[in-house]
Amino acid sequence: MTDPIRLSKRLIELVGCSRREAELFIEGGWVTVDGEVIDEPQFKVGEQKVELDKDAKATAPEPVTILLNAPAGMDVDSAMQSLSAETLSEEHRYGKRPLRGHFLRLTASADLQPKASGLLVFTQDWKILRKLTADAAKIEQEYIVEVEGEMAAHGLNRLQHGLTHKGKELPPVKASWQNENRLRFAMKNPQPGIIAQFCEAVGLKVIGIRRIRIGGVSIGKVPVGQWRYLSGKEKF
């Protein structure tokens, strides 16, 4: 029986790679211990069987972007802490394997409306972060808003052409009925609380707000509290 050693050291012994290459192989999810992917170079191994995938590449993992269907009222810090391999949507558990490194160095962007649920974006990719911040005023967001009450006469027309509420001018907004108690709003860079103001201005009370899309990216069929990866084909 040998004393446990770091997985990276065992890999060096097995394949003769450098320490940096060993770390990249492991962090990239190319190394298994007794058949299970281990992505922590400091993981201690003893007599277990360590194997390197035949297609392994000693390159840093590509940055990921995570799309979370956040519960109503969840703050960004709590939302980030909820991200793990266990909360990956069952329907999206194919293609990319969740690695420990995917949940490190994430930055949140495009905050939700107060008490809203729905699409939250976390990314390691500086290009996506720059797009969502520098171009925020150009990117359309879409919300489904559950309401109660009776809309004022010509309410939709007033929303679409701009109106005044409590002495404050509200900008024109794309608004339509999804069904008898849900409105669909589409707008660019909405200010905090403005959806509630839109609804109040036409006699409606907000029951719930859910963001379903940012630019060309929608949350899709992801259960509340779970997440999926942004695919290479999707663009904000």
The three-class DSSP label of residue 16 is: coil
Q: How far is CA 164 from CA 143, 157, 179, in A?
A: 21, 13, 25
The per-residue pLDDT for 72 is 95
The per-residue pLDDT for 42 is 94
Q: Per-domain residue ranges for the chain?
A: 5-52, 65-137+216-229, 140-214
Of 173, 77, 91, 86, which is closest to residue 120 (Cα–Cα)? 77
Q: How far apart are alpha carbons 226 and 88 in whole angstroms?
A: 6
Of 149, 127, 124, which is closest to residue 202 (Cα–Cα)? 149
Work out whether the CA dihedral 86, 233, 216, 109 comes out positive or negative. Answer: positive
What band does 95 get if pLDDT is binned at 50, 70 and 90? confident
Q: Do domains 65-137+216-229 and 140-214 have the same CATH topology?
A: yes
Instruction: Report the share of the chain in percent with pLDDT over 90.
Output: 80
- Strands of the chain, DSSP E: 5-6, 31-33, 36-37, 44-45, 50-52, 65-70, 107-109, 117-123, 140-148, 163-165, 168-170, 174-179, 182-188, 205-214, 217-218, 227-229
Q: Which fold has domain 5-52?
A: 3.10.290
The per-residue pLDDT for 97 is 82
The per-residue pLDDT for 1 is 57
Mean pLDDT throughout 9-18?
94
Average pLDDT, the chain: 93
The per-residue pLDDT for 64 is 95
From 117-126, 137-146, 155-164, the region with the lowest mean pLDDT: 155-164
Q: For 65-137+216-229, CATH number?
A: 3.30.70.580
What band does 168 get if pLDDT is binned at 50, 70 and 90? confident
Segment holding 134, helix H or strand E: helix 126-134
Mean pLDDT throughout 138-146?
97
pTM: 0.82
The per-residue pLDDT for 119 is 97
Q: For residue 169, give both structure tokens.
A: 């001018």
From 43-52, 95-104, 145-154, the region with the lowest mean pLDDT: 95-104
Angle at Cα 219 formed by Cα 233 and Cα 119, nearest 5°? Answer: 120
Q: Which CATH number fits domain 140-214: 3.30.70.1560, 3.40.1160.10, 1.10.8.60, 3.30.1180.10?
A: 3.30.70.1560
